[in-house]
Amino acid sequence: GQQLNQSPQSMFIQEGEDVSMNCTSSSIFNTWLWYKQDPGEGPVLLIALYKAGELTSNGRLTAQFGITRKDSFLNISASIPSDVGIYFCKTGGSQGNLIFGKGTKLSVKP
Amino acid sequence: NAGVTQTPKFRILKIGQSMTLQCTQDMNHNYMYWYRQDPGMGLKLIYYSVGAGITDKGEVPNGYNVSRSTTEDFPLRLELAAPSQTSVYFCASTPLGGTEAFFGQGTRLTVV
């Protein structure tokens, strides 16, 4: 079946550092979305990308839809403690079978 | 706005017991999903539904059953609880033609 490879699996960074994570796939997709899951909560949408090459920002977050339509990147600038959580990439599969990456767990040291 | 509501929030089951995790959404979404998330791990799709009366298996359906008699409700049933089913369960929904998933708050289940 379709799979999304998300990396890195986890990150331990110092407050103020920038963060980069990415998702790749062997399949082509028309949408890429990035979610954040705070501890003890359900995932919440951060950024949605609908066009190859699209670069979209949401505050300190920037996400890009790869030109090949097989990958996407999420960057967080100047990290703060509340950035802690698990970040998931997601795209749409066939017949509503939503596909999530395995997640990147971010820890921020004050 | 309620969005996706899951009940209960926490539950402890004994091995072999059964229970139903409830999920309801008030956004008239066609698609609904059940995921499980083990500690420190990603989301694994258990079952999904593209509309009332239609359900399909996801990645890890064994030990679970679902039904979708209405657009709003998508209960998940565990018939014979096993320790391997200890996890956090999330219900989600998406609108027809959309890909943004809206999640419930989760149900934390422990089987002892």
Distance (Å, rounded) from C-alpha B61 to C-alpha A6? 23
pLDDT of residue B95: 87
From A86, A95, A101, residue closest to B50, measured CB to CB: A95
Token pair for B102: 């809206």
With contact defined as beta carbons under 8 Å apart, do B3 and B29 qualify? no
Q: Is A41 on the interface with B (CB under 8 A)?
A: yes
A vs B: CB pairs below 8 A: 63
List pLDDT tens digits, range A11-21. 999 999 999 99
In chain B, whose CA is at the least distance from the CA of A9?
B41
Strand pairing report for B102-103 and B87-94? antiparallel
pLDDT of residue A96: 60
Question: Does A95 have pLDDT greater than 90?
Answer: no
Return the HEC string of B39-53.
Answer: CCCCEEEEEEEEECC
Residues of B with CB under 8 A from a CB of A: 4, 30-31, 33, 35, 40-43, 45, 48-50, 56, 58-59, 90, 92, 94, 99-101, 103-106
Average pLDDT of every residue of chain B: 94
Count of all residues that appear for chain A in the document: 110
pLDDT of residue A94: 53
With an 8 Å Cβ cutoff, are A98 and B104 in contact? no
List pLDDT tens digits, range B35-90. 999 987 889 999 999 999 999 999 899 999 999 999 999 999 999 999 999 999 99
Question: Does A90 have pLDDT greater than 80?
Answer: yes
> Distance, in angstroms, between B103 CA and closest chain A CA?
6
Q: Is A75 on the interface with B (CB under 8 A)?
A: no
Strand segments (E) across A1-110: 5-7, 10-14, 19-24, 32-37, 44-49, 55-58, 61-65, 71-76, 85-91, 99-100, 104-109
Distance (Å, rounded) from C-alpha B6 to C-alpha B107? 7
pLDDT of residue B41: 80
Q: Is A33 on the interface with B (CB under 8 A)?
A: yes
Token pair for B36: 């499980």
Nearest residue to B32 via CA among B76, B63, B64, B78: B76
pLDDT of residue A97: 63
List pLDDT tens digits, range A36-85. 999 889 999 999 998 999 999 999 999 999 999 999 999 999 999 999 99
